[in-house]
């Protein structure tokens, strides 16, 4: 019973939509009499999520909508009419998450559609979802853990809901419960460590990334494979293009979106740019500072402060980072590579970075993202196995025009 929604939300509205959707789904798991079957129909891009479920009392259809604007009465009446028109014998409920127009505040139904209203207060919605999650986990005989762990569980499930593609396939009660348990298991078990001090992703992330949907999908798919624990997947994803083609913008925007969802599935996040943050001028072609700070971040300050060479430090860092579901972002690697005009074009000048990348290509539970102007010859043996290289093409004419019009 998917009905088209209006794209009127925004990042906060999407997060509110997902939190309220999770609340509603967890409420269904404790319905009395118990539900027998459920169908999920996400339309997150339109700030809408539909689901249909059945129990002994009949069929039920719920639609959650969210917006950062104000729900106008005319829009809500139109949605309710469309929802009612699509129903057969279901009990229909429309849940509105956002600011409600005065004329709607006291309404409990429109026609045969029940109305529920929630304020778009993220902290409150997430707290409510975390409480529902704790109750669900206790019913399942699982440890609900600390409050921070339950919040991470909420964000892990939100991430799954956002990227869910079900093809309207019915799920039995047992299948849906198993799916929720699987999603809960993807949440990081320890407090998340994040270090973005050497690469300001907010600074380089455009508000609207134009013409890079395919590349964003590559990033989403790669991280989803990490979270699922798949063995045949990229350990390293490199984006190669000339300067100014949008490599940094692409990765920064993707990382910012992940950050807004509290880094779902991440156990550690370290981002580093091999350019200065203010002027983007090249730094000295050495990985010493990076290796020392990264080793400290991943828990080996002794190795960081030792007289060990770059190769040994890079190999040690690969071991530490690869042992976690870590996201490592290395932006602008070309200062550490030989120029195309040299006898060894693109090869890494630095043994530490070479040891790190080869080590991660060989064994890693996480994902390393690299942006550079030059392909990395040292990784060619791994391409198609644990390394994926994306040659970033120039924007299409249509996308270029849209980009110019956005300024």
Q: Residue 129: name the closest of 262, 286, 319 by CA.
A: 262
Are residues 198 and 268 part of one domain? yes
Residue 280 — pLDDT band, cuts 50, 70, 90? very low
What does each C-alpha distance from 150 to 16, 113, 137, 156, 279 come to in angstroms?
17, 33, 10, 10, 41
Q: Are residues 217 and 72 in the same domain?
A: no
Structure confidence at residue 252 (pLDDT):
92
285/142 same-domain check:
no
**Helix extents (H) in 140-212:** 147-162, 173-185, 201-204
Average pLDDT of the residues in 284-306: 89
Per-residue pLDDT, 5? 36
- For 200-213, write each residue's pLDDT tens digit: 888 888 877 777 88
Residue 29 lies inside a defined structural domain of this protein = yes
Shared domain for 91 and 214, answered yes or no, is no
User: If you average pLDDT over each of 51-65, 160-174, 317-331, which comes out highest?
Assistant: 317-331
In the predicted model, what is the mean pLDDT of residues 242-250?
86
pLDDT (average), residues 275-281: 45
pLDDT beyond 80 at 46:
no
The residue among 129, 160, 185 that closes a domain is 185
pLDDT in tens, 147-171: 878 887 888 888 778 767 656 688 8
> How much is the average pLDDT of 189-201?
83
Nearest Cα to 25, choosing from 158, 148, 115, 191?
A: 158
Q: Are residues 26 and 152 in the same domain?
A: yes
Assign residue 88 the CATH number of its domain. Answer: 3.40.1340
The mean pLDDT of 323-349, rounded to a whole number, is 93
257 and 339 inside one domain: yes
Q: Which range (44-48, 159-163, 235-239, 293-297) has the least confidence?
A: 44-48
pLDDT of residue 398: 62
Q: Under a CB-based contact definition with an 8 Å cutoff, are residues 39 and 171 in contact?
A: yes
Do 128 and 240 have their domain in common?
no
Q: Is there a single domain that holds both residue 210 and residue 84? A: no
225 lies in the same domain as 328: yes
Number of domains in the chain: 2
- What is the chain's mean pLDDT, rounded? 84
- pLDDT > 70: what percent of the chain? 86
Are 353 and 314 spatial neighbours (Cβ–Cβ below 8 Å)? Answer: yes
User: Computed over its alpha carbons, how large is the radius of gyration of the chain?
Assistant: 24
The residue range of the domain holding 152 is 11-185
Please indicate, yes or no, if residue 132 is contained in any of the structural domains. yes
Query: Is there a domain that residue 292 lies in?
Result: yes
If asked whether residues 254 and 354 sit together in one domain, one would say: yes
Global pTM reads: 0.59
Domain boundary among 159, 185, 211: 185
185, 207, 224 - which closes a domain: 185
Judge whether 256 lies within some domain. yes
Averaged pLDDT for residues 367-378: 96
Classify residue 5: in a domain, yes or no. no
Report the pLDDT averaged over residues 112-125.
90
- pLDDT computed for residue 213 by the predictor: 84
Q: Residue 363's domain is classified under what CATH number?
A: 3.40.50.300
pLDDT recorded at residue 177: 93
C-alpha 145 chain-centroid distance? 23
pLDDT at 33 over 50: yes
Report how far residue 315's alpha carbon sits from residue 352's, in angstroms, rounded to the nearest whole number.
Answer: 7
How many Å apart are CA 330 and CA 156, to the nearest integer?
Answer: 25
The model's confidence at residue 16, banded by pLDDT at 50, 70 and 90, is confident
> In this structure, is residue 6 part of a structural domain?
no
| 390 found inside a domain | yes
Among 210, 128, 152, which Cα is nearest to 405's?
210
Who has greater pLDDT, 89 or 397? 89
pLDDT at 1: 36
The single residue listed with the structure tokens 């040690």 is 316
Asked if residue 1 belongs to a domain, the reply is no
Position 278 confidence tier, pLDDT thresholds 50, 70, 90: very low
> Same domain, yes or no, for 373 and 246?
yes
Predicted confidence band at 87 (pLDDT cuts at 50, 70, 90)? low
| Tokens describing residue 71 | 């729900």
Q: What is the pLDDT of residues 171-181, one digit of tens each?
A: 899 999 998 99
Whether pLDDT at 234 is above 60 = yes
What does the pLDDT read at residue 285? 56
Domain identity same for 64 and 170: yes
Mean pLDDT of 23-27: 93
Query: What are the backbone angles phi and psi of residue 131, rounded to the nearest 5°?
Result: -65, -45
């Amino acid at each position: 019973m998917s009905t088209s929604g209006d794209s009127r939300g925004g990042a906060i509205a999407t997060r509110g939509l997902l939190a309220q959707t999770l609340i509603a789904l967890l409420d269904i798991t404790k319905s009395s009499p118990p539900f027998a079957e459920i169908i999920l129909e996400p339309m997150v891009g339109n700030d809408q999520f539909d689901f249909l479920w059945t129990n002994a009392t009949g069929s039920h259809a719920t639609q959650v909508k969210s917006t950062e604007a104000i729900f106008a009465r005319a829009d809500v009446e139109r949605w309710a009419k469309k929802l009612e028109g699509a129903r057969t014998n279901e009990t229909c409920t429309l849940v509105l998450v956002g600011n409600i127009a005065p004329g709607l505040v006291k309404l409990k139904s429109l026609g045969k559609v029940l109305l529920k209203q929630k304020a778009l207060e993220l902290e409150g919605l997430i707290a409510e979802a975390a409480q529902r999650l704790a109750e669900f986990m206790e019913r399942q005989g699982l440890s609900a853990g600390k409050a921070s762990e339950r919040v991470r569980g909420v964000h892990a499930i939100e991430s799954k809901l956002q990227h869910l593609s079900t093809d309207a396939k019915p799920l039995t009660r047992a299948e849906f419960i198993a799916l929720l348990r699987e999603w809960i298991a993807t949440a990081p078990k320890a407090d998340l460590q994040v270090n973005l001090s050497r690469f300001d992703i907010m600074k380089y992330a455009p508000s609207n990334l134009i013409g890079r949907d395919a590349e964003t999908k590559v990033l989403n798919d790669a991280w989803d494979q990490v979270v699922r624990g798949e063995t045949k997947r990229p350990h390293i994803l490199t984006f190669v293009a000339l300067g100014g083609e949008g490599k940094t913008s692409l990765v920064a925007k993707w990382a910012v979106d992940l950050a807004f969802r509290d880094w779902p599935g991440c156990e550690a996040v370290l981002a580093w740019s091999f350019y200065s943050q203010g002027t983007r001028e090249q730094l000295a072609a050495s990985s010493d500072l990076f290796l020392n700070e990264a080793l400290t971040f991943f828990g080996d300050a002794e190795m960081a402060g030792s007289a060990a060479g770059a190769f040994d430090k890079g190999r040690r860092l690969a071991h530490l980072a690869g042992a976690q579901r870590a996201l490592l972002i290395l932006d602008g690697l070309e200062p550490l590579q030989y120029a195309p005009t040299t006898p060894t074009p693109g090869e890494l000048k630095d043994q530490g970075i070479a040891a790190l990348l080869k080590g991660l290509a060989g064994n890693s539970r996480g994902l390393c993202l690299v942006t550079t102007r030059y392909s990395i010859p040292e990784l060619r043996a791994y391409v198609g196995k644990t390394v994926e290289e994306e040659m970033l093409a120039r924007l299409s004419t249509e996308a270029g025009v849209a980009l110019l019009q956005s300024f």
